[in-house]
Structure 1
Amino acid sequence: MPALKVSPAQRAELRTQAHALKPVVLIGAEGLTEAVLAEIKVHLNAHQLIKIRVFGDEREERAAIYARICDELNAGPIQQIGKLLVIWKPQPARPVPSTPANRAKATATKTGSGRRTALPSAREASSERSSPGEKSSRGAAPRLVKVVKQPDDPKRRPKAQTVVVRGNERVTAGGTIKRAKKRQTSAKRQHQSTK
């Protein structure tokens, strides 16, 4: 399969998203084996955008590995800086099956002079947070979350916005996205803790 074509604007956006990522696959002295390709495929399916570190000193060899990964997995080459490779493979959009719950969300009830949509149940609201192609399990990354923010002026309507929440992030009650804090280590020294 040929490598995926990515537009320059899309590549720039993906580069900014990949900046904070850590490498998830390391390619060592054995080079690009079938097991490494399978691991890269698993991570691409889980995260869509990944970084790969290649431990090799030959620049041409790293470029060949980069091209082979993109060709065999039908992924888009985003960026190569030294020994770091950034690769992206979008998830195909899956159609949403027609269920009674989905039809209930689409119906609207008329109240007073304006129209309002029926409020979804808790189960429907949790499935609404994730995109149609994703599972609605908690902690699955990345996922799309619909956030409604109240404006400062009470005369204005609240705005709904869809945001992407990655694995180490959470949405607060105010609708902002916060990263999970690193676990704090003990301030005690190791030799003082044992007596």
Structure 2
Amino acid sequence: MSLTNAQKKQFRNIGHELNPVVMIAGNGLTETVLVEIDRALEDHELIKIRISIMDREVRSALIAEISKIMKCETVQTIGKVALFYRAALQANPKLSNLLR
């Protein structure tokens, strides 16, 4: 599930207006955080996640781990905020950030 450059550009434009829906801090990727990320991806398809960890290497590892576990694409990473995309099984036009 690789995104084309045109899709990434479109998703970055949409993501610019979004606020982070999940925030990860010192406890890292707990089961509760993973459940919330999964729910948010299924509802919204395109989400921002703020990772409030100072070490860049740890942040990069967490972003890669989220992509792997959630089977989603990392669209963009700027500082402590990452933008993720995963197509919903049944997109809800009222919740999806792509259909609104």
Shared fold (TM-score greater than 0.5)?
A: yes
1:143 deviation in Å?
8.2
Deviation string 1:109-151 (CA, Å, 9 cap, x unpaired) is xxxxxxxxxxxxxxxxxxxxxxxx4468xxx32389xxxxxxx
Q: 1:8 aligns with which of 2, 5, 8?
A: 5
Alpha-carbon separation, structure 2, partners of 1:135 and 1:57 = 35
Higher helix share: 2
Tell me which amino acid in the other structure corresponds to 2:33: V
1:33 deviation in Å?
1.3
**Sequence identity (%):** 35
Number of the residue aligned with 2:38: 41
Alpha-carbon separation, structure 1, partners of 2:67 and 2:18 = 19
* SS of equivalent to 1:87: strand
Taking a change above 3 Å as real, the CA distance of residues 71 and 77 of structure 1, as seen in their structure-2 partners, is: same
Tell me which amino acid in the other structure corresponds to 2:20: P
Number of the residue aligned with 1:67: 64
Structure 2: unaligned runs, 5 residues or longer: none
1:21-170 residue pairs with structure 2 within 5 A? 21-92=18-89, 133-134=90-91, 140-142=94-96, 164-165=99-100
Which of the pair has the greater relative contact order for Cα pairs under 8 Å at 6+ separation? Answer: 2
Structure 1: unaligned runs, 5 residues or longer: 93-132, 145-163, 166-195
Q: In terms of Rg, which structure is larger?
A: 1
Tell me which amino acid in the other structure corresponds to 1:49: L
Alpha-carbon separation, structure 2, partners of 1:18 and 1:143 = 8
Q: Would the aligned equivalents of 2:14 and 2:97 in 1 still touch at CA under 8 Å?
A: no
TM-score under structure 1 normalisation?
Answer: 0.48
Q: How many residues are matched?
A: 100
* SS of equivalent to 2:12: helix
